[in-house]
Amino acid sequence: MLELRDVSVSFAGLQALSHVSLSARGGEVRALIGPNGAGKTTLFNAISGYVPLSAGRITLDGKAIDGLSPHQIAARGVRRTFQNGGLFGELTALENVLAGLHSRIDASFAGILFGSRAAREAERAAVARARQLLETLGVAHLADQPVKTMSGGQQRSIEIVRAVAAEPPLLLLDEPAVGLAPPLRAQLVELIRRLAGEMGIAVLLIEHAVDLVMAAADAVAVFNGGIKIAEGAPAAIRNDPAVLEAYLGHG
Ligand SMILES: Nc1ncnc2c1ncn2[C@@H]1O[C@H](COP(=O)(O)OP(=O)(O)O)[C@@H](O)[C@H]1O
Ligand SMILES: [Mg+2]
C-alpha cells in the first residue's frame, strides 16, 4: 500500500537519502535500522511531507503523496510519532488521545455540537477506547494529568497511544522505546504486534534496540549513509556480514 520508488533527499549538498525503494503492507511491521545519521528519520519526514524529495516517487494505494503537505498526508491516514515529543503539554493524556481520534471522526463533530444521541454515544465510545489504549501501555492512571507534568517515558507512551488511536492504515514510529522502562518495552512490542496483526495497520518502526526489532518486526531494512544496504527477515539480517559491519559492529 505504501511504496517508495528511488527516493532521494538532499540538504544543501548533503545526500541524506539516495535512491531508496521500500514498501509497507497492512498487517506487517517493517523495522528500519542503521547508525545515527543513516537517514531513517529523514525517510519518515519524506513520507509524511516534512521534507521535499529531490528525486523519486512515494505512493499510497497507488496515488502519489509526495508533494502534498503534512496535513494532507495525515488526512490520508498516515500517522507518526516524533523522536522528540509532539504532544499538547497543557492538555491531559486523555485529551491528547481524543484529539488524535477526533481528526478521524470529524464527520460526527457536527452531531456532537448539536448534541445528538448518536454523537454523544460516539463520544463515550471514543473516551472508552482512549482509556483502554492508555491501559494497554500501562499509563491509564495518568489519563487525567496534564502531559507536561509527566516523565519522558510516560509522554512517549501517550504519544504512541495518540498516534494509534485512530487506527491509521499506516503508522510511522520513530524510536518509540526510548525512555520506556523494561516492562513497558515488552508491552510496546505486544501493542505493535497487535496493531499489525489485529488491526491490519502497516507499521514502519525505527528502532535501535536489536532485541525489540527482533521481537516486533516481520522484516528489517538496514540503512547506512542514506543508502538501503540490506533488507530481509530479522534472523537473516542479524547474520548479514554487511549489516554486522555497518551497524551492529558499531553498537
Ligand atoms: N532538516 C535537515 N537539514 C539539514 N540536514 C538534515 C536535516 N535532517 C537531517 N539532516 C541530516 O541528514 C542526515 C540523516 O539524518 P537523519 O535522517 O536524522 O538520520 P537518522 O534518523 O538515521 O539518525 C544527517 O546527516 C543529518 O544531519
Ligand atoms: Mg532519527
Q: Could you tell me if 64 and 101 lie in one domain?
A: no
Cα(159) to centroid(ligand 2), Å: 17
Nearest atom in ligand 1 to 174's CA: 21
Assess whether the C-beta atom of 40 lies below 6 angstroms from ligand 1.
yes
pLDDT at 91: 94
- Residue 215, in any domain of the structure: yes
- The answer, as to whether pTM is greater than 0.75, is yes
Q: Could you tell me if 177 and 57 lie in one domain?
A: yes
Mean pLDDT, residues 3-31 taken together: 97
Q: Could you tell me if 146 and 30 lie in one domain?
A: no
Which of 124, 156, 188 terminates a domain? The answer is 156
- Residue 242, in any domain of the structure: yes
Q: Could you tell me if 16 and 57 lie in one domain?
A: yes
* Alpha carbon 187 to its chain's center: 16
Domains held by the chain: number: 2
14-28, 90-104, 138-152, 201-215: range with highest mean pLDDT: 14-28
Assess whether the C-beta atom of 32 lies below 6 angstroms from ligand 1.
no
Range of the domain at 177: 2-77+168-250
Q: Could you tell me if 128 and 197 lie in one domain?
A: no
- Among the bound ligands, name the one nearest to the CA of residue 42: 1
- Residue 136, in any domain of the structure: yes
- Residue 82, in any domain of the structure: no
Mean pLDDT of the chain: 88
In CATH, what number is assigned to the domain containing residue 70? 3.40.50.300
* Banded model confidence at residue 228, pLDDT cuts 50, 70, 90: very high
- Residue 61, in any domain of the structure: yes
Q: Give, using CA atoms, the residue closest to atom 26 of ligand 1.
A: 37
> Residues 6 or more apart from 33 whose CB is under 8 A from it?
40, 206, 207, 208, 210, 213, 220, 221, 222, 223, 247
* Banded model confidence at residue 248, pLDDT cuts 50, 70, 90: low
DSSP per-residue string spanning 154-194: HHHHHHHHHHHHT--SEEEEESTTTT--HHHHHHHHHHHHH
44-58, 137-151, 209-223: range with highest mean pLDDT: 44-58
- Give per-residue pLDDT as tens, 126-165: 899 899 989 887 889 999 999 999 988 888 889 888 988 8
- Residue 183, in any domain of the structure: yes
Q: Could you tell me if 174 and 149 lie in one domain?
A: no
3-state secondary structure of 111: helix
- Residue 161, in any domain of the structure: no
Q: Give, using CA atoms, the residue closest to atom 25 of ligand 1.
A: 37
Nearest atom in ligand 1 to 17's CA: 14
% of the chain at pLDDT higher than 70:
91
Q: Could you tell me if 184 and 246 lie in one domain?
A: yes
More confident residue, 85 or 229: 229
- Among the bound ligands, name the one nearest to the CA of residue 36: 1
DSSP per-residue string spanning 63-89: EE-TTS-HHHHHHTTEEE--TT----T
* Beta-carbon-side half-sphere exposure of residue 138 (alpha carbons within 13 Å): 15
The distance in angstroms from the start CA to the end CA of the chain is: 33
Mutate to test the pocket of ligand 1, among 42, 84, 204 (most ligand atoms within 8 A of CB): 42
Whether residue 110 has pLDDT greater than 70 = no
Assess whether the C-beta atom of 38 lies below 6 angstroms from ligand 1.
yes
Q: Could you tell me if 98 and 146 lie in one domain?
A: yes
221, 206 Cβ separation under 8 angstroms: no
Q: Could you tell me if 244 and 176 lie in one domain?
A: yes
Residue in 155, 225, 165 with CA at minimum distance from that of residue 195 = 165
Assess whether the C-beta atom of 11 lies below 6 angstroms from ligand 1.
yes
Whether residue 84 has pLDDT greater than 70 = no
Q: Given the C-alpha cell 534472523, which residue does it identify?
A: 235
Q: Which residues surround ligand 2, an ion (CB under 5 A)?
A: 41
Nearest atom in ligand 1 to 83's CA: 21
Q: Give, using CA atoms, the residue closest to atom 9 of ligand 1.
A: 42
Mean pLDDT, residues 33-51 taken together: 96
Specify burial of residue 182 (Cβ count, 10 A radius: 0-12, 13-18, 19+). exposed
Assess whether the C-beta atom of 36 lies below 6 angstroms from ligand 1.
yes
Strand intervals (E) in the chain: 2-11, 14-24, 29-33, 55-60, 63-64, 78-80, 170-174, 202-206, 219-224, 227-232
Whether residue 112 has pLDDT greater than 70 = no
DSSP 232: E
pLDDT at 251: 44
- Give per-residue pLDDT as tens, 176-208: 988 788 888 888 898 899 889 988 999 999 998
Q: Could you tell me if 72 and 185 lie in one domain?
A: yes
3-state secondary structure of 128: helix
pLDDT at 92: 95
Nearest atom in ligand 1 to 12's CA: 4
pLDDT at 73: 94
- Residue 144, in any domain of the structure: yes
pLDDT at 107: 47
Q: Could you tell me if 67 and 179 lie in one domain?
A: yes
Residue in 224, 214, 146, 148 with CA at minimum distance from that of residue 185 = 214
Q: Could you tell me if 37 and 146 lie in one domain?
A: no
3-state secondary structure of 203: strand
